[in-house]
């Protein structure tokens, strides 16, 4: 498969906190790719740099042959039509109905290209794909945590993206809803023929949904490969993370700062 996304020598810091000091990673078109790592290592930062919500301090980020780091806001807007993101909390607007939430990206990027009837049809299609047909008039406050995640996913797929980014999609969900979300990720991958990039610390989910995985540690990618290659790794940092024998160093530092 061809390379769709490439990070090369990317550096990113927040003040004195170094997040990446040389991020190198390639993601292929059409694959399900999972990014692993402890809390605070910058997994979500990577996704936000890809869509221009955060700027890299140095290095190159290429999407489908175009350099993200040199794009204007107008050019980034075009990229965001092709790359959708499911945020960790679902990020629904409580003041809007479910239907209005799902239509938000359509209003943002396709207002001049789609009629209201076409948008309504697309909203119904997206809600149907996540198993929540006919709830357009409900409010987010009426939904369970699992349903809110699925509505957030419907909003992401309503724009029919080429790439779908998932930021901790199963965090806070019970085992039943976790399994449901994982099933939807793999189902949408197959049905929509998209590239999926998942940030998670849930190893069960990671191994069940991924074609390949990468692990972030110390500001770099320290391992990249298939689930089988990860399970057979002889790198103690990888094996400790997989089995949860001990927190990685970044987690220790985070706990010390927060304590």
Return per-residue pLDDT of the chain as tens, 259 residues: 799 999 999 999 999 999 999 999 999 999 999 999 888 888 989 999 999 999 999 999 999 999 999 999 999 988 988 999 887 666 788 999 999 999 998 998 888 889 999 999 999 999 998 889 999 999 999 998 888 888 998 999 999 999 999 988 888 788 888 888 888 888 888 888 899 999 988 888 899 999 999 999 999 999 999 999 999 999 999 998 888 754 444 444 544 454 4
Could you tell me the pTM of the whole model?
0.86
CATH number assigned to the domain covering 3-258: 3.40.50.300
Provide the 8-state DSSP code for 69. Answer: G
Task: Specify the 3-state DSSP secondary structure of 220.
Answer: strand
Provide the 8-state DSSP code for 98. Answer: H
| Confidence at residue 58, expressed as pLDDT on a 0 to 100 scale | 97
Structural domain spans, the chain: 3-258
């Amino acid at each position: 498969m061809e390379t769709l996304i490439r990070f090369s020598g990317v550096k990113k810091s927040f003040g004195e906190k170094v997040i990446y000091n040389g991020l190198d990673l390639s993601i292929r078109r059409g694959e399900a790719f999972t990014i692993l790592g402890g809390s605070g290592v910058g997994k979500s930062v990577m996704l936000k740099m890809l869509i221009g919500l955060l700027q890299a301090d140095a290095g190159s980020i290429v999407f489908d042959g175009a350099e993200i780091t040199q794009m204007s806001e107008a050019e980034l807007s075009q990229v965001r039509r092709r790359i959708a993101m499911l945020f960790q909390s679902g990020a629904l607007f409580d003041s809007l109905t479910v239907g209005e939430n799902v239509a938000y990206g359509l209003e943002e990027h396709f207002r001049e290209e789609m009629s209201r009837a076409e948008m309504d049809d697309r909203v119904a299609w997206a809600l149907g794909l996540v198993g929540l047909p006919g709830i357009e008039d409900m409010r987010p406050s009426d939904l369970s945590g699992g349903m809110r995640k699925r509505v957030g996913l419907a909003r992401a797929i309503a724009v029919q993206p080429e790439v779908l980014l998932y930021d901790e999609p199963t965090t806070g969900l019970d085992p039943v809803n976790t399994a449901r979300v994982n099933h939807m990720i793999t189902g949408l991958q197959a049905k929509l023929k998209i590239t999926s990039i998942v940030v998670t610390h849930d190893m069960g989910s990671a191994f069940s949904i991924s074609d390949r995985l990468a692990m972030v540690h110390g500001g770099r990618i320290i391992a990249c490969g298939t689930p089988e290659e990860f399970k057979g790794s002889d790198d103690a940092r990888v094996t400790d993370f997989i089995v949860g024998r001990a927190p990685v160093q970044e987690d220790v530092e985070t706990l010390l700062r927060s304590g």
